[in-house]
Amino acid sequence: MSRVKRGISVKKRHKKILKQTKGYRGARKHRIKLAKEALLKAGFFAYRDRRVKKRNFRQLWISKINAGLKDHNLRYSQFINGLKKQELNYNRKILADLAENNKEEFDKIVDKIKSKE
């Protein structure tokens, strides 16, 4: 049986990993073992933080809506409850944008909810 040498395929795999870790600091961009670990960790954090980003944006939208409601002496929970009772299907992203950039439209929505209470 003939001997199989795998130097070329290993080199190719290593080059692929080192190309992906370009820009990392210290030995994590040069040494293959550390580069592999760094790449695995980076992938894990990227996956996790794509979900965390969604949470952060939701918190931001809620804060913006709450800030817009301060002028109307209305709490966020009361506002959302009023929206649900009247079956107004606005999402938080749109409401936050209205509260920040289009105050008149946001005020109309708040007045509609306040009038029904």
Domains along the sequence of the chain with CATH: 7-116 (1.10.1900.20)
Rg over CA atoms, the chain: 26
Q: What is the mean pLDDT of the chain?
A: 94
Segment 29-85, tens digit of pLDDT: 999 999 999 999 999 999 999 999 999 999 999 999 999 999 899 999 999 999 999
Share of the chain above pLDDT 90, in %: 83
pTM of the model: 0.77
What are the angstrom distances between the C-alpha of 43 and each of 12, 14, 52, 83? 21, 17, 14, 39
Question: If pLDDT is split at 50, 70 and 90, which confidence band does 117 have?
Answer: low
Query: Count of residues for the chain?
Result: 117
At residue 100, does pLDDT exceed 80? yes
